[in-house]
Amino acid sequence: MSTFLRAIEFLSLSLWLGSDVFLSFVVAPGAFRVLSSRDQAGAMVGYALGAMHMGGIICGLLLLFARLARTRTFATLATPAALCVVLMIALTAISQFTVSAKMAALRVEMGSLQATAADSPMLLEFGRLHRISVSLESGVLLAGIAAMCLLVRELAFRSS
């Protein structure tokens, strides 16, 4: 059972990291390259980002529950690997429920980002929020890579 639970930990983190990389380097650039308008591409990426955020939070919680079930101690949630995952969940929640929500409201208020004047305060605020969103996603990715390295290190340490 311990091997199965550890596999769930690795699978959960791998799925989350993979989806983040795929969205960032394939879906988002592809949407802006293929779709006929920046508004359509933004809507598509916004939808995909929301789905990835919810999936990531679920994967993170699943990892923490599997870890808790495997070790049977709450102290395991205070290890560096687990704390990286907690950070990933927190950054994702902030991005989804504050930054993305504000960006969606601005998108509705503006109607079209393409048709909005470049010096519009709403468009400037949207750009600021977009930069915050990218920073949060970068933080999730970096914390995830650190968590993966730490999980591998834990496994190697226990094996030797």
Q: Mean of the pLDDT values across residues 4-29?
A: 96
Mean pLDDT of the chain: 95
Q: Mean of the pLDDT values across residues 45-57?
A: 97
The pLDDT tens digits for 84-138 are: 999 999 999 999 999 999 999 999 999 998 899 999 999 999 999 999 999 999 9
pLDDT score for 156: 87
Q: Which residues contact 104 (CB under 8 A, 6 or more apart)?
A: 46
Angle ∠(109,111,114) on CA atoms, nearest 5: 125
pLDDT score for 68: 97
Q: Which residues contact 84 (CB under 8 A, 6 or more apart)?
A: 143, 144, 146, 147, 150
Q: What percent of the chain has pLDDT over 90?
A: 91
